[in-house]
Amino acid sequence: MLKQLIPLKDPEQRMEIEAWFNFAVMAMKDEKLSEYNEQIRQSTKEFMRYMIEVLAKNNLLKDHLNIDEESVGLYTFIDGLTLQAIFYPSHFDESIVETYIGNYFSKLCYDK
């Protein structure tokens, strides 16, 4: 599910993510765009929180972890991975992205 947010081989998906990136840069200079960009950001944050909450509700999230902090951490991780995939596409394929995401979640979750 999260892998779908990261542009890999699909040219259309890559173009969408690049458009989002350019929009986010433009929104830094335009108040109206900034408001819309913040709505998109909030929606993405809510989705990341939902992912962490699902782990917690299914007793997969390690007990000592804070849902709010891990939601922000997941958002930051996926955002960074997305930017890396945009800027350095030859270094990222589906297998590598799956490994990174799997490693990230293995740090959050109990082994089951």
Q: What is the pLDDT of residues 7-63, one digit of tens each?
A: 887 888 888 888 988 999 999 999 999 999 999 999 999 999 999 999 999 999 999
pTM: 0.87
Q: Is residue 4 part of a domain?
A: no
Q: How many domains does the chain have?
A: 1
Q: Is 25 domain-assigned?
A: yes
- Phi/psi at 7 (nearest 5 deg)? -70, 125
Q: Quick check: is 33 in a domain?
A: yes
Q: For residue 80, is it within any domain?
A: yes
Helix ranges (H only) for 58-87 are 67-87
In a domain, 1, yes or no: no
- Domain that includes residue 31, residue range: 10-108
Contact between residue 3 and residue 80 where contact means Cβ atoms under 8 Å apart = no
Residue 103 domain flag: yes
Please indicate whether residue 87 or residue 105 has the higher confidence score (pLDDT): 105
Task: Using the structure block, give the residue that is written with the tokens 């992205």.
Answer: 97
* DSSP one-letter code for 112: -
Rounded Cα–Cα distance for residues 101 and 25 (Å): 26
For residue 43, is it within any domain?
yes
